[in-house]
Amino acid sequence: MDEILKVLSGGVDVKENDFNIRNSVLMEYKIIDSELNLLFKGKVAERADNLILCELFFSGLITSLTDCELLAILSIFCLNEKAGGTVEDC
């Protein structure tokens, strides 16, 4: 019965846990508050990737990352999305 409930829930617990972990990181960096409101730093950061990159470099966070982890983070800033087109255009 537990397995059936897990399948029917679609991994909601896992997704909720991931959501809460991401929010705690955003709260730690003062990007959102405890009520999940976007703070000034978050508003600025969402518009300026350069600020986030500077924060990563000058905080010393990247020194403890592996090459794969660093590549994964930096790939976020290279994403180019197309919107409004058809599947063939994309």
Higher confidence at residue 17 or residue 11?
A: 17
Tally the C-alpha atoms within 13 A of residue 13's C-alpha that lie toward its C-beta. 5
Over residues 48-57, the pLDDT tens digits come to 777 778 888 8
Q: Which of 1-10, 39-48, 66-75 has the lowest mean pLDDT?
A: 1-10
Average pLDDT along the chain: 76
Residues 87 and 68: their CA atoms lie apart, in Å, by 30
- Other CB atoms within 10 A of residue 31 CB: 19
Judge contact between 23 and 12, C-beta under 8 A: no
pLDDT score for 88? 57
Residues 90 and 86: their CA atoms lie apart, in Å, by 7
* Residue 44 one-letter amino acid: V
Instruction: Give the global pTM.
Output: 0.44
